[in-house]
C-alpha cells in the first residue's frame, strides 16, 4: 500500500454506516453551494437596499396623488350635472 491515499485503488465501502462515495460527493457539493450562497447574500442585500428599494419607493410616490382622491367626488358630481 502506498502512503498517498489517492494512489490506492478505489474499493467499495463494506462498512455499514459509512456513506458511499456518491453520497459524500453530494454532501460536499451541497456545502460548496451553501458557502457560495452565503458569500453572495451580502451583495444581494446591498443591491436590494440601495437599488431596488429606492426605485420601488419612487414608483409608488409617482402614482400617489392625494389631490385626485380629494377632488374626484366633486368632478364626478360636476360630470353628472353636465
pLDDT tens track for 21-58 = 999 999 999 999 999 999 999 999 999 999 999 999 99
Which bin fits 17, alpha (ψ -120 to 50), beta or left (φ > 0)? left
pLDDT tens track for 54-81 = 999 999 888 888 888 788 888 888 888 8
Contact of 8 with 1, CB cutoff 8 Å: yes
Read off the C-alpha cell for 25: 460527493
Amino acid at each position: 500500500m502506498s502512503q498517498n491515499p489517492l494512489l490506492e485503488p478505489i474499493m467499495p465501502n463494506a462498512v455499514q454506516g459509512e456513506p458511499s462515495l456518491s453520497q459524500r460527493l453530494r454532501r460536499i457539493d451541497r456545502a460548496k453551494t451553501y458557502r457560495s450562497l452565503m458569500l453572495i447574500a451580502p451583495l444581494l442585500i446591498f443591491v436590494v437596499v440601495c437599488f431596488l428599494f429606492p426605485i420601488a419607493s419612487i414608483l409608488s410616490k409617482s402614482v400617489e396623488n392625494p389631490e385626485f382622491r380629494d377632488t374626484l367626488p366633486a368632478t364626478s358630481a360636476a360630470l353628472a350635472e353636465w
